[in-house]
Structure 1
Amino acid sequence: MESRMGGFGFKIYKKGVINLRPLLSANLERILKRLGNSDLISLLTKQISSSDLNTLLLKVFNEKVKMSSPSDLLKRYTENRFVHPAKVDALQLKQLELEILKIAMNHGVSPIQLSPVAPLGCTSVVGTVDQNKVISALRGTEVVSDATNLISLHIADLIKYNKYSRKDYLRFSTTHRHVRAQYFGDTPGMLAHFHLFCMVTSGVDQGSYEFEIKSLWEHIKVYQEIFKSLFNSKIEVILSERGGYKDSAGLVSRITEYGYGLELDDVIISTGAAQKENQYYKGLQFTIKTVIEGREYYIGDGGYVDWTQKLLGTKKERLLISATGLDRLLL
């Protein structure tokens, strides 16, 4: 695992995570005391515009780089866990990406190549992720830590500015290298950067959980084919109740019943524990479990989120996201 099931998000897997908040607060207090201005953070955030702050920080980093030597650069490379190459076989990973994207495309999910950076606040403004778990950057950006957030912004932009005819769901997929800033110490399998396959489906509420049922089983059918055709393995889909819907239990029940009616080969459907206090997903979270060469993997997850509702200001919007980790399948 990386940080949530399959390294997808930030919420579930907490064992081994080191809480950096007290350390960050202590360091910040020390820095402000050394600079002799305890109001510096407030001045930089409230008294100047974002563009002016960017100009200031660009100058600071420019001057810092001028003071650096080649040996300083090599030292920074050696000590920085975010910049080292992945251990995964590059050719195998590229081949796996291509095969998975083709499978998704054959199911009507359009592949999209995302930017390596997202707007600042991409994961924390509409989600529940602490900005300290993301690598914030200059020019109003952050390094992509969750491609589904960035795809949701792309979808919201398409909808708001009428850039497509909305007669059907919007379906996008991508493979993307993600960087997460939370520190796990020496916990096995926790990676500073890792590859994910992600899918996002957008639609409008039409009653009777029509979007929720149809979109979720579309995602499951993609994962079913991925693991059957590429790894000769079955998948178990664990459906778990979450808060955020008026009748989350009814939602899970309807989706489970519909799934049994599909009689999907190589798919086992089970029910997980309800966690209504989990605020990341709304109504339902599904987890993907598989066994490959005798080894059990909790390799992916997904669920409904309210991001497009917040971005577009309407409760009628519906959004399903999911992802599975790729590095762990190859390591």
Structure 2
Amino acid sequence: MEKGIDGVEDQGRGELNRILLELGHRELVALLAEELSGADFNTLMLEVFRRRAADKRPSELLRSYRENRFVKPAVVDSLALKRLELALLAIAQERGYAPVQLSPVAPLGSCSVVAKADQNKIISALRGTEVVADVTNLLALHIADGVQSGALRNHPEPVRLSTTHRHVRAQKFPDLPGFLTHFALYAMVTAGRDSGSYGFEKEAVWEHVSMYRDMFGEQFGAEIEVLISGRGGYKDGEGLIERTVQFLGERAPELVVKVVPPKDNAYYLGLQFTIMTTIAGREHFIGDGGFVDWTQQLLGSKKERMLISAIGLDRLLL
């Protein structure tokens, strides 16, 4: 792919190239991104934003609120949402998943450094942070930090955490009910170490799936179906899926588990499971999960294992 000014890719970056040419500073991006320390960059940008905010009039602020798709309130019933969040966290805690209240911001690059996410679809911020766009990445950092410092132990028993969080994503969403730039998720993470014969993998998938089965049963009187599809990253991916499906069948023969054709998705490793349910006559593909190598990267050990999953909450209440 051809490069533009300072190595900026021309595809989709024409506006940036135009701005740099108009300013007459072709090296500006490289200077800001590569030459300044983090502290100096923050000092510079804080002054830029201070001046831009100081120049705003109240009428401009109101217009900005009206036009900015990230700042409007959700249409969801806020009390119903809070009750649902509390109920799900209580169910998870009863089953050994400790609730964690996380920050609204994460370290810059939390989604794009260890996961395959586009930084431009995340709201980057100052002071080395970004607005949380995927809480499971922040949970992974919390766990890796705890394991490295000795505050957490992920073997012989894995670390089990759960949370609810309101996410903001900078990608385009369709203008349809339930598709919002910010939305609530329930998420949980199981982090441990390889125990051989896919022991960690089978048990972790069962814990997540059975949790969602109980949650939807208790809160909505609804059953779930589990759709499993293969992903790369495991030497014996077919064996992983076969043993996992067999394990789920042994634990819950009544649970509907279907193996579906794999899709082009490099986010998960080994397998991805999708939760499907029907509530008040409406079919929802409401959440998914899979294995990731984030703790392997963060801790520098191929023995680390992690299963993440999440379900969207707003659409369940619309």
Give the TM-score normalised by structure 2: 0.94
Deviations 1:105-138 (A, max 9, x none): 1110000000000000000000000000100000
Equivalent in the alignment of 2:48: 60
Equivalent in the alignment of 1:120: 108
Q: Which amino acid aligns with 1:175?
A: T
Q: Identify the range of structure 1 (82-91 vs 48-57) with the bigger mean alpha-carbon deviation.
A: 48-57
Equivalent in the alignment of 1:211: 200
Secondary structure of the 2:13 match is helix
Of 253, 256, 261, 1:273 maps to: 261
Secondary structure of the 1:198 match is strand
Equivalent in the alignment of 1:239: 228
Q: Does 1:303 align with 2:290?
A: yes
Q: Does 1:137 align with 2:135?
A: no
Q: Using the TM superposition, give the Cα deviation of residue 272 of structure 1 relative to its aligned residue in structure 2, in angstroms.
A: 1.3
Of 74, 95, 116, 2:62 maps to: 74
Q: Using the TM superposition, give the Cα deviation of residue 263 of structure 1 relative to its aligned residue in structure 2, in angstroms.
A: 2.4
Equivalent in the alignment of 1:294: 281
Give percent identity, aligned residues only: 54
Alignment partners' CA distance in 2, 1:185 and 1:164: 41
Deviations 1:199-222 (A, max 9, x none): 000000011001000111001111
Of 132, 141, 144, 1:156 maps to: 144
Equivalent in the alignment of 2:3: none
Of 24, 34, 38, 2:22 maps to: 34
Equivalent in the alignment of 1:254: 243
Secondary structure of the 2:197 match is coil
Of 38, 61, 66, 1:50 maps to: 38
Equivalent in the alignment of 1:110: 98
Q: Identify the range of structure 1 (103-112 vs 43-52) with the bigger mean alpha-carbon deviation.
A: 43-52
Secondary structure of the 2:276 match is strand
Q: Using the TM superposition, give the Cα deviation of residue 27 of structure 1 relative to its aligned residue in structure 2, in angstroms.
A: 1.5
Alignment partners' CA distance in 2, 1:115 and 1:193: 15
Aligned length: 309
Q: Which amino acid aligns with 1:189?
A: G
User: Unaligned regions of 5+ residues in structure 1, if any?
Assistant: 1-20
Q: Using the TM superposition, give the Cα deviation of residue 264 of structure 1 relative to its aligned residue in structure 2, in angstroms.
A: 5.1
Distance of aligned partners of 1:127 and 1:78 in 2 relative to their CA distance in 1, 3 Å threshold? same
Alignment partners' CA distance in 1, 2:11 and 2:50: 27
Q: Using the TM superposition, give the Cα deviation of residue 188 of structure 1 relative to its aligned residue in structure 2, in angstroms.
A: 5.1
Is residue 178–residue 314 contact of structure 2 (8 Å, CA) maintained in 1? no
Q: Does 1:179 align with 2:179?
A: no
Q: Which amino acid aligns with 1:321?
A: I
Secondary structure of the 1:127 match is coil
Deviations 1:283-306 (A, max 9, x none): 000000001111111000000000
Secondary structure of the 2:160 match is strand
User: Unaligned regions of 5+ residues in structure 2, if any?
Assistant: 1-8
Deviations 1:22-70 (A, max 9, x none): 7851221121111101111011111111211111000100011111111
Alignment partners' CA distance in 1, 2:137 and 2:67: 29
Alignment partners' CA distance in 1, 2:103 and 2:181: 19
Give the TM-score normalised by structure 1: 0.91
Alignment partners' CA distance in 1, 2:176 and 2:214: 31
